[in-house]
Amino acid sequence: MEVPSPPPPTASTKHILVFFVPGNPGFIDYYEPFLATLRTLLDEAEEQSRKSNDKDVRFHLLGRNLLGFEDGDDGGGAYGPGPYDLDTQIRGVMDAVAAARIDLGKEDCDKPRHGEAFDQVVLMGHSVGSYIALDVFRRQMLSQRKIEAAKAEKMETPSEVSIKKPLGGTDHLRLRRGILLFATLAHLAKSERGQKLQRVLLTTPVVSGWADVLAQAVAWWLLPLWAMSLIVQYVMRFPPHAAAVTLRFLSSRGGVRQALYLGRDELLRIGPDEWEDELWETIDGVDEGEGNEKEEDKEDSDEKPKFVILFGENDHWVANDVRDEFIARRKAHKKNRAAIVLDERGWPHDFCIRHGEEVAETVKLWIADLAEIV
């Protein structure tokens, strides 16, 4: 389907940000087929909506590497020197999402809504990226609690409230849906791969202290680039996009070190399912009293799922019993608004290597449903 160029946006155009958070290793280029396909499908959905529903909806698809994976990437110096732990990665994603604004391009910078905040935000993550995305929702919820508590005490101005917020500059975020793909949300160390990684990074004395140095030595000194290329292409049989990113990763100065450092922190941090029940209930942290909540969003808030969680049937990074306990706890909560999907098509945890286009077809439905243009 060839999608014609959309008409210029108007003041009534609805702008939805879809922000993607990669897993570890945190190179977004691993997801190129997935994101390219999703972009095409969302363009088609926009066009179909204009034709059939007379709705002008624009999807803005954004994302970036996790901090520290590209040589020299320190987040602009805002997070200090790397490598970066899970908490810093979460702060980096939240800052990036909060800084995003409607960008209509240089030619349309005078058009209505250019530079404004998005009407809705869909935060999508894969693997540890799903944990990061979910924790952004949690931090936004906690931030909103502080704002509401301050207002209950009759504080006079928003500036007085902002001093006490745990995360600044995020009031405008209208988080509407989290899409969590092959989510690692609890007890990572109990998974098949987590147990192996734990033995290497946490319990083997020599390796746990020097894992990043040893890995970098293999990548730099023991295997020349041509040998790594042969292994990636002919032994691992990676498609071109994944092979290119993997070679860039293995030959980088800090990428391997960052991946192992973050992996170690994931094992330590992603433990018991202690996510607050309230997190699965509310739409977002928008203050309705200030007039930020649109009527259509109020009507939808009690019906549409806040989260869509995709689990693999046999995911080597998610233990089946941990997954089943997680699902049972969500189902037992009466106000739960998380839709949980258990894949039966055999998609692997690293779907982005060979199954990106297929997963994009399903994800498009979850995004379009939010905008009511399915």
pLDDT (average), residues 52-79 = 89
Tokens coding 86: 């899970």
pLDDT in tens, 195-208: 988 887 776 544 44
**What is the 3-state secondary structure of the chain?**
CCCCCCCCCCCCCEEEEEEEECCCCCCHHHHHHHHHHHHHHHHHHHHHHHHHCCCCEEEEEEECCCCCCCCCCCHHHCCCCCCCCHHHHHHHHHHHHHHCCCCCCHHHCCCCCCCCCCCEEEEEEECHHHHHHHHHHHHHHHHHHHHHHHHHCCCCCHHHHHCCCCCCCCCCCCEEEEEEECCCCCCHHHCHHHHHHHHHHHHCHHHHHHHHHHHHHHHHHHCCHHHHHHHHHHHCCCCHHHHHHHHHHHHCCCHHHHHHHHHHHHHHHCCCCCCCHHHHCCCCCCCHHHCCCCHHHHHHCCCCCCEEEEECCCCCCCCHHHHHHHHHHHHHCCCCCEEEEECCCCCCCCHHHHCHHHHHHHHHHHHHHHCCCC
- Asked whether 67 and 89 are in contact (CB, 8 A), the reply is yes
Name the residue with higher pLDDT: 30 or 173.
Answer: 30
pLDDT (average), residues 218-222 = 53
Confidence band for 284, pLDDT divided at 50, 70 and 90: very low
Domains and CATH numbers, the chain: 15-188+273-370 (3.40.50.1820)
What gap in Å lies between CA 28 and CA 42, rounded to an integer? Answer: 19
Tokens coding 287: 């203050």
pLDDT in tens, 94-104: 999 999 999 87
Confidence band for 334, pLDDT divided at 50, 70 and 90: confident
Q: Residue 219: what pLDDT?
A: 54
What gap in Å lies between CA 73 and CA 51, rounded to an integer? Answer: 43
pLDDT above 60 for 290? no
Confidence band for 155, pLDDT divided at 50, 70 and 90: low
Q: Residue 230: what pLDDT?
A: 58
pLDDT (average), residues 250-265 = 87
Confidence band for 235, pLDDT divided at 50, 70 and 90: low
pLDDT (average), residues 208-217 = 54
pTM of the entire predicted model: 0.86
Q: Residue 43: what pLDDT?
A: 94
Within 8 A by CB and 6+ apart from 353, the residues are 30, 238, 239, 242
Q: Residue 152: what pLDDT?
A: 81
Among candidate residues 365, 371, 361, 368, the one with its CA nearest the CA of residue 36: 361
